[in-house]
Amino acid sequence: MTDQQAPSESLTDAALDSGTKAANELGEFRSLKADVWRQFRRHKGAMGGVILLTLVVSGCLLGPPLMGFDTATPDVANANRGAFDWPHLFGTDNLGRDAFARALLGGRISLAVGFVAMAVSIIVGVLIGVFAGYFRWLDSPLMRLTDLFLSLPLLPILLVTVVLFRDPVQDRLGDNLGIFVLMVAIIGGTSWMSTARIVRGEVLSIKQEEFILASRSIGTRPWVIIMKHVVPNVMSPVIVAASLGIAVAILTESAVSFLGLGFPLDLPTWGKLLDEAKDRISLNVWLTIGPGILLSATVMSVNLIGDGLRDALDPQGRSKG
């Protein structure tokens, strides 16, 4: 009997091994991260956005020192030079500073504001959304607070807040750091509402799952459940919201700076450069091209990445792929 069972067991093991190998070749046992990366990589627009954003960020970080132009010292002899007047690709401004080098330099501040303000917005939105969704007694007051912020005209509030608090904050932290902290706090503090609503809806659904109910039944503390089970399971829509929030933050900072209430004159940003160029657009239209192209490319690339993340993190999309 044992001799008869041995061949059948070996055949069964061989069949299982071949089946596992075939399944692995077909990608049936991919991890979640590998599956998301596979879907994201197949999204041509998202990969194009990654390449474009990488070029913009690399250019802003490495371009000014490699180009070798002194963007801090005026050079009146070379003022208002036209585009393609070598070595000035987009010409010079009224003080003789290279326009493209200043556009790349301004990108450092605009990108920093976008990423940091997005982080502030996501943290606030996730906290409020998780608390509102998990703790029933906090749901109504937190959602009414969210509705209040959604009803406010954000751009006028931004402008008024900058005017009221810019001087005190700059006196305490310095001109450059003070306005940076103020811009990040205002933009991040007024753009968390959509994230909070998304997270609240996800938490309301997740907290009825069996693994959450089991954790509560054995006496696990709410904070442990939130950190170990709830937050990790709501990060997919948060990641998408974060990617799209970067573009909104950069555009908001550019709008405030374009209106003349942003960073100081000696610290260029894309919005500030566009504000300076509008008064001399008849003399050199190329002064608007550099910051305009970089701003548009950044917003477009971030939106493409957000679309790719949304599709990659969609369970139905992954099952089709």
User: How much of the chain exceeds pLDDT 70, in percent?
Assistant: 86
Q: For residues 106 and 273, what is the distance between their CA atoms, to the nearest angstrom? A: 8
Q: Return d(Cα 275, Cα 24) in angstroms, integer.
A: 57
Query: pLDDT tens for residues 251-306?
Result: 888 888 887 777 777 778 888 888 888 877 777 777 888 888 999 999 999 989 98
Helix (H) / strand (E) containing 277: helix 270-278
Question: What pLDDT does residue 12 have?
Answer: 45
pLDDT by residue (tens digit) across 16-41?
455 445 444 444 445 667 777 888 88
Under DSSP, is residue 299 helix (H, G, I), strand (E, B) or coil? helix
SS (H, E, C) 15-73: HHHHHHHHHHHHCCCCCHHHHHHHHHHHCHHHHHHHHHHHHHHHHHHHHHHHHCCCCCC
> What mean pLDDT do residues 45-60 have?
92
Mean pLDDT (whole number) for 80-98: 75
pLDDT, one tens digit per residue, over 142-173 is 999 999 988 888 778 888 888 888 888 888 88
Q: If phi over 0 gives left and psi between -120 and 50 gives alpha, with beta otherwise, what is residue 135?
A: beta
The number of beta carbons lying within 10 Å of the beta carbon of residue 117 is 26
- Residue 117, both tokens: 């303000």
pLDDT surpasses 50 at 8: no
Q: 43-67+88-320 adopts what CATH topology? A: MetI-like fold (1.10.3720)
Q: List Cα–Cα distances, 319 to 222, 239, 316, in angstroms.
A: 33, 20, 5
Domain ranges of the chain: 43-67+88-320
